[in-house]
Amino acid sequence: PDAGPGPAWQSKCPWGAPSTTSISCSLADVMSEQLAKELQLEEENAAFPEVVAAAEGPFITGENIDTSSDLMLAQMLQMEFDREYDAQLRREEKKINGDSKVSISFENYRKVHPYDSDSSEDEVDWQDTRHDPYRADKPTTTPRRGFIGKGKDITTKHDEVVCGRKNTARMENFAPEFQVGDGIGMDLKLSNQVFNALKQHAYSEERRSARLHEKKEHSTAEKAVDPKTRLLLYKMVNSGMLETITGCISTGKESVVFHAYGGNSATEDKIIPPECAIKVFKTTLNEFKNRDKYIKDDYRFKDRFSRLNPRKIIRMWAEKEMHNLTRMQNAGIPCPQVVILKKHVLVMSFIGQDQVPAPKLKDVTLSSEDMKKAYYQILNMMQQLYRECNLVHADLSEYNMLWHDGKVWLIDVSQSVEPTHPHGLKFLFRDCRNVSQFFQKGGVAEALNERELFNAVSGLNITADNEVDFQAEIEALEKVNEDHVQNHGKKLSTFSSDGDPPIYD
Ligand code: ADP
Ligand code: MN
């Protein structure tokens, strides 16, 4: 049979004619609805089963976005991708399970990434590292003579198993940041070759990370926040908790504060305030070193302090601010309301309006009437703080009080301590001095002097009429409390001024 009027080579080809590529079909086939449907289905299946609408990420827009870090951009993109992937997975899971009573979970197929470390890193945050459950026992060493055992049970130091185990145990000596996995806890045997390669790699990683770290430290000083923090902030926007982060309100020694518009997060069942302040505690550690004394001696944090690294201590500052704000909120003291805490980033309600923060008391000019009102309000707040919240602000001054809505708002309470803190009363006295001086200079005739204010706030009755004696009495009281701790292991929860038995915590 002739192949028809094909090209000349076709008939000459020694391997015969190629099969024609066009599908031969009859008129009946062409008209078949069945076939048409099948073809269409095939086409549809080839494409993505359900088109996922790319959610518009309302992230820090325009000029705010930092494009200098490729890694961060890549991570952000990955995060966006993963979110869509997970959403799709959820849809498919739902489709498969339908109304069935027994359901199949796709949980294990969800994306988990290492830098999105809410899960991975934080879990071990407060773990007692002195008792590491993963720590292997010391490897048994081979004796000097180079072998143990007798006869055919003899093992030499060249024994593969012994050697492999020893190598595994030696991995412990690598730099702590170097990830060696769970191998140490298992009966893993590393050959010399593998071990040596790993060792080499560990050393070069160490050098590389040292260089990198140095660079990062510098860039943190220049820009407001480091890439990790930016990623955290990005996540808050990405999750819908925040609408936009508009800009920086303040860059202090220890923190950077941003303004943001609140979003309407579906996951958090909290109502997000329309405007938020984001306080980012600085991860450059230098400034915090001098503040150790606040937290180290705070018995609430005492147990944890000794075994934490500096990065975690900074998170504790943020945590402390959150707890203290919550106490104040409960007592009805005007202060920012806590929205959420993520690592070293604290989100709270914004005191101010339309991106303009309320002025600090030091920057605002009040009428003498308002000044007097402010004074009595502060006196009241200091008493509430002491009695109801069991706190001393410890950095109270016209710098940390905002004037908003015709009243004073207290902020910046990360360093606040309980009155029984070893220096609690000293801190209180300092607060009193700042407040007294500010209002006396501000022309409030009724303002108590610092000693009177101290007694009025604490309910103590220190009678010394000069500063030196007064401070000596404060120190004596602090010492009594300290001795009590030494002897009884517990702190008095309040100083008793009227002969009541002490109340124990
Ligand atoms: P720092 O430890 O750097 O002093 P603060 O908590 O005092 O940190 O915040 C620094 C500045 O940021 C404040 O003086 C205030 O102007 C502004 N600020 C902080 N929190 C808020 C807030 N919730 N609302 C409005 N402004 C705030
Ligand atoms: Mn401050």
Q: What is the pLDDT of residues 223-254, one digit of tens each?
A: 568 888 999 999 999 999 999 999 999 998 88
Of the listed ranges 26-35, 65-74, 138-147, 429-438, the one predicted with least confidence? 138-147
Query: Residue 357: CB within 6 Å of ligand 1?
Result: yes
Give the global pTM: 0.60
In one letter, which amino acid is 402?
Answer: L
Quickly name the fold that domain 224-357 has.
Phosphorylase Kinase; domain 1 (3.30.200)
Residue nearest to atom 3 of ligand 1 (CA): 252
Q: Measured in angstroms, how far is the CA atom of residue 250 from the centroid of ligand 1?
A: 7
**Fold: same for 224-357 and 359-491:** no
Instruction: Report whether residue 352 contacts ligand 1, using a CB cutoff of 6 Å.
Output: yes
Strand, helix or coil for residue 392: strand
Task: Quote the tokens at residue 202.
Answer: 């560990």
> Which of 411, 413, 415 to probe ligand 1 with, by most ligand atoms within 8 A of CB?
411
Task: Please name which ligand lies nearest the alpha carbon of 252.
Answer: 1
pLDDT in the model for residue 188:
76
Instruction: Report, as an integer, the average pLDDT of 367-371.
Output: 97
The pLDDT assigned to 66 comes to 55
Distance in Å, CA 22 to ligand 1 centroid: 74
399, 360 in Cβ contact below 8 A? yes
Outline where 25-170 has alpha helix (H): 27-31, 33-46, 70-97, 160-170
Report for 58-72, 208-222, 443-457: range of highest mean pLDDT = 443-457
Topology at the third CATH level for domain 359-491: Transferase(Phosphotransferase); domain 1 (1.10.510)
Got the DSSP string for 402-471? EEETTEEEE---TT-B-TTSTTHHHHHHHHHHHHHHHHHHTT-TTPPPHHHHHHHHH-------SHHHHH
Q: Of the ligands numbered here, which is closest to the C-alpha atom of 254?
A: 1
Q: Is 395 a catalytic residue?
A: yes
Least confident interval from 23-37, 101-115, 178-192, 452-466: 23-37
| Catalytic member of 395, 465, 498, 500 | 395
- Kindly report the protein residue whose alpha carbon is nearest to atom 5 of ligand 1: 412
DSSP-derived letter for residue 338 is: E
Residue whose Cα lies nearest atom 10 of ligand 1: it is 250
Domain boundaries, the chain: 147-217, 224-357, 359-491
Compute the mean pLDDT over every residue in the chain, rounded to the nearest whole number: 77
Determine the atom of ligand 1 nearest the C-alpha atom of 251.
3
Q: Ligand 1 atom 26: the closest Cα is on which residue?
A: 357
- For residue 294, is pLDDT > 60? yes
Q: Please tell me if the CB atom of residue 407 comes closer than 6 angstroms to any atom of ligand 1.
A: no
